[in-house]
Chain A
Amino acid sequence: MTELLEPRAIGRDTVRRDGEAKVRGTATYAIETPVEHPAYAHPVQATVARGRITAIDTSAAEALDGVLVVLTHENAERLASTDDREFAVLQGDEVAFRGQLVGVVVAETSELARQAADAVRVTYAEQPHDSELRVDHPDLYAPEQVNAGHPTDTAEGDVAAAVATAAVTVEETYSTAMYFNNPLEPHATTALWDPATDVPLTLWDSTQGVHPARAAVCEVFGLEEERVRVVCPFVGGGFGSKGTPHANLMLVTMAARALPGRPVKLALTRQQMFALSAYRTPTIQKIQLAADRTGRLQALALDVVEQTSRIKEFAEQTAAPARMMYASPNRRTTHRLAALDVPVPSWMRAPGECPGMFGPEVAMDELAERLGVDPVELRIRNEPEVDPETGKPWSSRNLVHCLREGAERFGWAERPPAGHREGAWLVGTGVASSVYPTMRQAKSTATIRFEDGRYVAEIGAADLGTGAWTVLPQITADALDVDLDDVEVRIGDTRYPVASVAGGSSGTNTWGSALVVAATEFRSKFGGSPADGDEVSGDVDQASKDEDHSAYAFGAQFAEVRVNVATGELRVPRLYGVFGAGRIVNPRTARSQLIGGMTMGLSMALHENGVWDPRIGQAATHDLAEYHVTVNADVGDIQAHWLDEHDPYVNAMGSKGIGEIGITGTAAAVVNAVHRATGVRVRDLPVTLDKVLAALP
């Protein structure tokens, strides 16, 4: 048990501290860092999906007035570590995917850099490539483990036997598309290499973690951490794609090191991001559900097929939520990967839970239909007493409460019958559950200092729009028992103590815990009237940690869908979510995160589709005109609500993390509503007009 902070600032609707700078556009993002006389870098990318570079002719580029340097594998510095092959830029002639970095040009202006990059002539010996994920791919393999350290496979009981004898079964295959994170701010860096100074390398980088980014650069370039500074006060969105650095950071560092004393700016173009800045693997999900007549699950199996790149493994933990969501005596989950000639997949908002709450939550709807049981009720009947995977009790699990409250708010009981028609529109409603694990990272330190009558806390945390600039002072104020106005928290710089990545919805849980430890320490050391300059630091690992409970946030999402009978046009006028996510530190920023996640879930349901062209090995939809994301007119009444949940096991704030849960289950709720409206069961995302058109009256 952890003693929860007495909430005074916590729980208060507080305006963003960085809000005014953001509405004026004066918050400085990485590429905008004001520096003296910057040079501009533009990457050169491979135009084959697999092969070797046989020649590079840089003479035309170098001959242009104002071109400062052209780097290729022929003249680039040798890196200290090439263990991570994504980071091993310009180290050899091998091409492992289309769009891979094969050079960089630095010039006096961005126009010139781009022109010169176009003038670099690269000749390849092309090799046959394989970039297409297939469920029966001959090279499927079981990775050692999947993301976040989960086991690759799990098994309990006998699924086949239960399926053979069950009253009702669902055996279907579901698939999710390839998704690109597409934060609105492209991946970008301003880099300065000034060997004459104590800290020769400064990187103003758009990152979800300045310390993790620094660690990666130090490893790759063989630099000591004291000699590198990474700065990032603001991030224009990341959604996981800026959680770990990508090759662009190594490329700009290399370019800066080739031009000592000259700041170099490199922003990926939107098109380049589709090959270089992470994406979510497509997934194929084979599901088996078996239930008795009352709807109690007898078997639950999920076999996942997905892809990774040949140069670096990323195994999305798609089956993870199926292991803990519902009770069932017989269970099986597996992950199989195909390593393809494709860009490197990585984290995207709720890796594992996001795709993994699609197939199973649609399958539950199919099961409910076959049983003639209400889908809300079916979920409630399969509520597990303890975590089915670990056997541990829940720290708190309010899925049933979320389902009931959501049903109430949405008017579920009065929902129209299947195939209900209003004028030109078929109307349907659907439900799905949401889930996300409650995490806390092992490493983070905060300092608190009394300075000019105020408390200044420092920690290298990141605010990607999540609200850390605002929420961390709320936590610190309560931990110190002072007014919010008396606290300043500084983040986003490796000059501040080490902080974990803003990922896994763990930022507030982790950094907040470190701040509470520091505040407690501060008070016990200096009491209520400290002297100017009094300072302590606190580590997250000094915070009490509960190992005996299974901790997750839960939620329920309800969607109303309208389908035009003539055109198949799909609208989602209502999307309601109710979440049990521990204590909410700032209702204003929390609501924005939750509706933001739900909006991205809506986007996944209806719009996003990385269409892969296996002939050339690249996403055919590789800009924002073709890779559609939800726009304003696609969004109707989106509401996020939460329970007043009190969890004494998670951390001193009682918070569970809310950055990712909103995107989980949304697509399933929409698909289930589309089925109710039209009778069409769409098992492959996204739901597009062509998939429902044939069934319309």
Chain B
Amino acid sequence: MPAIGFGTPGAGGTAASVDADITLTVDGEQQRLTVDTRTTLLDTLRERLGNASPKKGCDHGQCGACTVLLDGDRALSCLALAVAHDGAEITTADGLAAGGELHPVQQAFLDRDAFQCGYCTPGQICSAVGVLDEVRRGWPSHASEDLTADPELTHDEVAERMSGNLCRCGAYANIVPAVQQAGGMA
């Protein structure tokens, strides 16, 4: 259980912040910190821990820019409260390249020029890592013809699974081949 301490209530009956102590492992490094219980994982990473690899595009779960791997699965960090994830392990796009070598998905994005401005990119990459894992585990998608067969990394499968990540620069036509390349399909 995280320790919870109450902040000073503001005048006019408006309560100020409530804080909680939590531990997170971010890109392999353990972090102990005190967070406002209203703080999202995204803001915890960006504003408290100085890890700006996940981006904020909407803060409402509508764009995918904040996608990270949360205990191994892709997740929208703007929709997760940090206090609810005490003890979690988080990997950002930067963490995928730990040790200085690019992850195959990152290399594929470079090879295919699967971005322009780069703002959606770390989220796209974490999402793609999640997609490849979900496909490996045999999870079907809306685009799967046969829900019981092992899915393949066809254009439609990849495009469908990557559709939670908006790219306003319109790099989709390069993102799909990049994900296929990283998945060993192209």
Q: Which A residues have a C-beta under 8 Å from some C-beta of B?
A: 15-16, 18-29, 31-32, 34, 40, 59-60, 63-66, 109-112, 115, 119, 182-186, 234-237, 239, 267, 269-270, 464-467, 588-589, 591-593, 595-600, 603, 623-625, 629-638
Q: B168 near A: Cβ within 8 Å?
A: yes
Kindly list chain B residues whose C-beta atoms are within 8 Å of the C-beta of A110. 43, 47
Question: What residues on B are CB-neighbors of A239 within 8 Å?
Answer: 168
CB-nearest residue of chain A to B97: A24
**A16 proximity list for chain B (CB < 8 A):** 110, 113
Q: A23-B93, A29-B119 are in contact. Are A632 and B159 (CB under 8 A)?
A: yes
Q: Whole-angstrom distance from the CB of B122 to the nearest CB of chain A? A: 3
Alpha-carbon distance A593/B174, docked complex (angstroms): 11
Q: Which of A119, A185, A269, A625 contacts B119 (CB 8 A)?
A: A185
Shortest A674–chain B CB gap in Å is: 21
B90 to chain A, nearest CB (A): 13
Question: Roughly how many angstroms separate A231 CA and B122 CA in the complex, as a whole number?
Answer: 22
Residue numbers of B with Cβ under 8 A of A are: 7-8, 10-12, 14, 16-17, 36, 38-39, 43, 46-47, 50, 52-60, 62-63, 65, 92-94, 96-97, 102, 106, 109-110, 113, 115-122, 125, 143, 155-156, 158-160, 162-176
Q: Which of these, B122, B155, B174, contacts A595 with CB under 8 Å?
A: B174
21 contacts between A and B (CB under 8 A): A23-B97, A26-B53, A29-B119, A31-B56, A32-B52, A40-B47, A63-B12, A115-B16, A183-B119, A183-B168, A184-B117, A184-B168, A185-B55, A185-B57, A186-B56, A588-B113, A600-B168, A624-B57, A625-B60, A633-B156, A635-B159
Minimum CB–CB distance for A567 against chain B, Å: 15
Question: Beyond the given A23-B97, A23-B110, A595-B170, could you list 16 further A-B residue pairs with CB under 8 A, ordered by the A residue number?
Answer: A16-B110, A23-B93, A23-B118, A27-B118, A31-B56, A111-B39, A111-B43, A184-B167, A237-B168, A467-B116, A599-B172, A623-B62, A624-B60, A624-B62, A630-B170, A633-B160
B118 adjacent to A18 (CB under 8 Å): yes
Q: Are B59 and A631 in touch, CB under 8 angstroms?
A: no
Q: In whole angstroms, what is the CA distance A21 to B11 when docked?
A: 45
- For A575, give the chain B residue with the smallest CB separation: B173
Q: How far is the CA of A234 from the CA of B55 in the complex (A)?
A: 13
Cβ of B53 and Cβ of A465 under 8 Å apart?
Answer: no
Nearest-neighbour CB distance to chain B for A445, whole angstroms, equals 25
**Residues in B neighbouring A119, C-beta threshold 8 A:** 12, 14
A22 touches B121 (CB 8 A): yes
**With the chains together, A183 CA to B115 CA distance in Å?**
13
In whole angstroms, how far apart are the Cα atoms of A598 and B50 in the complex?
36
Per DSSP, chain B at the interface is loop
Question: With contacts A236-B55, A237-B169 known, is A593 near B116, CB below 8 A?
Answer: yes
Closest to A62 in B: B11
B178 to chain A, nearest CB (A): 10
Contact status A184-B166, CB under 8 Å: yes
Known: A184-B63, A624-B166. A25 touches B55 (CB 8 A): yes
Complex Cα distance A596/B172, Å?
8
What are the 4 tightest A-B residue pairs by CB atom distance, in nearest-first order? A25-B53, A599-B170, A465-B116, A236-B119
Tell me which of B63, B110, B121, B173 contacts A25 (CB under 8 A): B121
Residues in chain B near residue A634, CB distance under 8 A? 172
Q: Which residue in chain B gives the minimum CB-CB distance to A593?
A: B116
With a CB–CB cut-off of 8 A, which chain A residues contact B14?
A: 60, 63-64, 115, 119
- Interface contact A28-B52, CB-CB below 8 Å: yes
B121 and A23 contacting across the interface, CB-CB below 8 Å: yes
Docked complex Cα distance between A269 and B50 (Å): 20
Of chain B, the residue at the smallest CB distance from A265 is B47
Whether A111 contacts B12 by the Cβ 8 Å rule is no
Asked if B58 contacts A234 (CB within 8 A), the reply is no
Q: Is the CB of A184 within 8 A of B55?
A: yes
Using CB atoms, name the residue of chain A closest to B175. Answer: A632
Contact A24 B113 (CB under 8 A): no
With known contacts A23-B121, A25-B93, A112–B16 Cβ distance under 8 A: yes
Asked if residues B159 and A629 are in contact (CB atoms below 8 Å), the reply is no
* Minimum CB–CB distance for A662 against chain B, Å: 9
Chain A residues within an 8 Å CB radius of B12: 59-60, 63, 119
Q: Which residues of B contact A597 (CB under 8 A)?
A: 170
Q: With CB as the reference atom, state the residue of chain B lying closest to A600.
A: B170
Q: Which of B53, B58, B170, B176 contacts A270 (CB 8 A)?
A: B58
Measured CB to CB, the closest approach of chain B to A503, in angstroms, equals 15
Q: With contacts A65-B16, A236-B117 known, is A25 near B166, CB below 8 A?
A: no
Shortest C-beta distance, A80 to chain B (Å), equals 33
Residues on B with beta carbons closer than 8 Å to the beta carbon of A18 = 118
Q: Could you say which of B11, B96, B117, B159 contacts A183, with CB atoms under 8 Å apart?
A: B117
Could you tell me if A109 and B115 are in contact, using CB atoms closer than 8 angstroms? no
CA distance A35 to B122 in the complex (A): 22
Say whether B63 contacts A63, CB under 8 Å.
no
CB of A357 to closest CB in B, whole Å: 18
Specify which chain B residues have a CB less than 8 angstroms from the CB of A464 in the assembled complex. 116-117
CB-nearest residue of chain A to B121: A22
Residues on B with beta carbons closer than 8 Å to the beta carbon of A599: 170, 172-173
Would you call A596 and B93 a contact (CB within 8 A)? no
Residue numbers in B under 8 Å from A34 (CB-CB): 50
> Which residue of chain B has its CB nearest to the CB of A466?
B116
How far apart sit A110 and B143, CA to CA, in the bound complex (Å)? Answer: 39
| Closest beta carbon of chain A to B108's beta carbon, Å | 9
Query: Which residues of A are found within 8 Å of B38, using beta-carbon distances?
Result: 111, 115
Complex CA–CA separation, A274 to B58 (angstroms): 12
**Residue of A32, A269, A465 with highest tally of chain B CB at under 10 A:** A465
Contacts of A186 in B (CB 8 A): 56-57
Minimum CB–CB distance for A590 against chain B, Å: 10
Complex Cα distance A40/B36, Å? 15
B4 CB to nearest A CB, Å = 16
A112 cross-chain contacts in B, Cβ below 8 A? 16-17, 36
Instruction: Tell me whether A270 and B57 are in contact (CB under 8 A).
Output: yes
Least CB separation from A33: chain B residue: B52
For A183, what are the chain B residues with a Cβ–Cβ distance below 8 Å? 117, 119, 168
A465 with B169: CB separation less than 8 A? yes
B80–chain A nearest beta-carbon distance, Å: 15
Contacts of B102 in A (CB 8 A): 20, 23-24
Contacting A22 at CB < 8 Å: which of B57, B65, B118? B118
Per the bound structure, the CA–CA distance linking A629 and B117 in Å amounts to 17
Q: Determine the distance from Cα of A28 to Cα of B63 in the docked complex, in whole angstroms.
A: 20
Answer whether A65 and B171 are a contact pair too, CB < 8 Å, given A23-B106, A109-B47, A236-B117. Answer: no
- A24, B11: Cβ atoms closer than 8 Å: no
Residue from B65, B94, B110, B121 whose CB has the most chain A CB atoms within 10 Å:
B121
Bound-state CA distance A205–B77 (Å) is 24
The answer on a CB contact under 8 Å between B159 and A633 is yes
